[in-house]
Amino acid sequence: MLYHCYNCHKYAFETSCPYCTGSLAEDYVPLDPKYYLEFQYKTQGVVKDLLFKKQDQQQLNQKLDSVLTKYNQFKYPYFVNYLHIARGTYNAVGVDAPSGEYTHSSLRLFQLVLTRLGFNELNEYDQLTIKLIRSTEFNFDYANFVSQIKHHIKGDIRQAIYSWIGDVGSRYRQELPLFIYYLWDSQTFVDEIAFNNLKTSPAGTPLVSRAVIKKIRERCEGIYLDIQVTKFKSTLEIFNPNDYLNIYKVDSMTGFEFEDFLVHLFTTLGYDVEGTRKVKDQGADLFVSKFGKKVVIQAKNYKNTVGNAAVQQVFSAKTFFNCDEAMVITNNYFTKSAIELAARIGVKLIDRDELETFVDEYNQLIIEALNESEDGVVQPSDTNGNELT
């Protein structure tokens, strides 16, 4: 079975999280609730196991059947709708984000609704409600993963791996257990991976051993490196140096060119940008907004340091245009008095050093856009065969 740890946010096949020691029982949940450990027999010694194991396991199976029956009965609409409602303000189990405490207004009320409908086992087993909610969420996440992975399953397993990693990049490291489980669940390329036979293996045997997982990760890391090298080679070949900016190119701009550059810069960085008139702008050269916060900016492409006047002008523009924040950006530096005034009246100053940071981020986004715009899927170059293990 596949498990998800809500403490370290990793996926695994073992019955306890192999990555962290701080996870609680409710933090580590299987994709299928029938694998909950509450309903697995725990050894009580040779004699008691011999006398009572069969009877105790039968009682646990009956209780599990009752839980699964009621869960399937109430999954729609109760568990599914609670999951969506809780995601609005809390996480999937109704945890208040600021304090981390369970809220009676969501999780507790949800449990009371279900127990009044007859799901009394939720009171008998500690944290069962939370675990069922998390398994519901896990199933949603897995279903979304499956819908995205299907178009990569073509050719042989190496082609599928190349296609998938080429699409998701380094995220494959997090999602690899999902990918492996999907191959087993869909009976695809199952001969290429050493899956354990759960029907004949002892209880608690993982679907895939740690040694096999390690070997698969090593092969996938080689594939990922090959993809990165191929893409980087393409980037080197198609990159246009004229698109790359540095602070000295900024220095050569006129005042209007500098304003246009800032419009393009902030747009590239994900802001909504609005320019102003070139004259009579009341101290505002452009407005940028993100996450509902509007900022007025005065642009100063100067050969000399910027003084108090720019700070006073943009502060007035903030009031005039009813903005949340005011900012002055320059390719130079600010006088000591301008820095002191800005700190007192709450104006943000972006000097040459910080502007260079923005420019570096802009250049990186250009490179990433080039990588994302490349057509076609990187083809496998490894000639060691199809098997991953």
Q: In the listed set 152, 169, 203, which residue is the last one of a domain according to the structure? A: 152
Query: Number of C-alpha atoms within 13 angstroms, CB side, residue 193?
Result: 31
Residue 129 CB neighbour total at 10 angstroms? 24
Q: In the listed set 152, 185, 205, which residue is the last one of a domain according to the structure? A: 152
Radius of gyration for the alpha carbons in the chain, expressed in angstroms and rounded = 29
Rounded Cα–Cα distance for residues 286 and 87 (Å): 36
Please give the tally of structural domains in the chain: 2
Residue 262 domain boundaries:
247-350
- Residuewise pLDDT in 10s, the chain (389 residues): 999 998 899 999 998 898 987 667 788 999 999 988 887 766 677 667 676 677 777 888 899 999 999 999 999 999 999 988 876 444 444 444 444 444 456 888 899 999 999 999 999 988 899 999 999 999 999 999 999 999 999 889 999 999 999 989 999 999 999 999 999 999 999 999 999 988 888 878 999 999 999 999 999 999 999 998 988 887 788 777 777 788 888 999 998 889 988 998 888 888 999 876 554 567 788 999 988 899 999 999 999 999 999 999 999 999 999 999 999 999 999 999 999 999 999 999 999 999 999 888 888 887 777 766 654 445 565 444 555 66
pTM for this predicted structure: 0.66
* CATH number for the domain that contains residue 319: 3.40.1350.10
Q: In the listed set 118, 152, 186, which residue is the last one of a domain according to the structure? A: 152
Which amino acid type is present at position 61? N
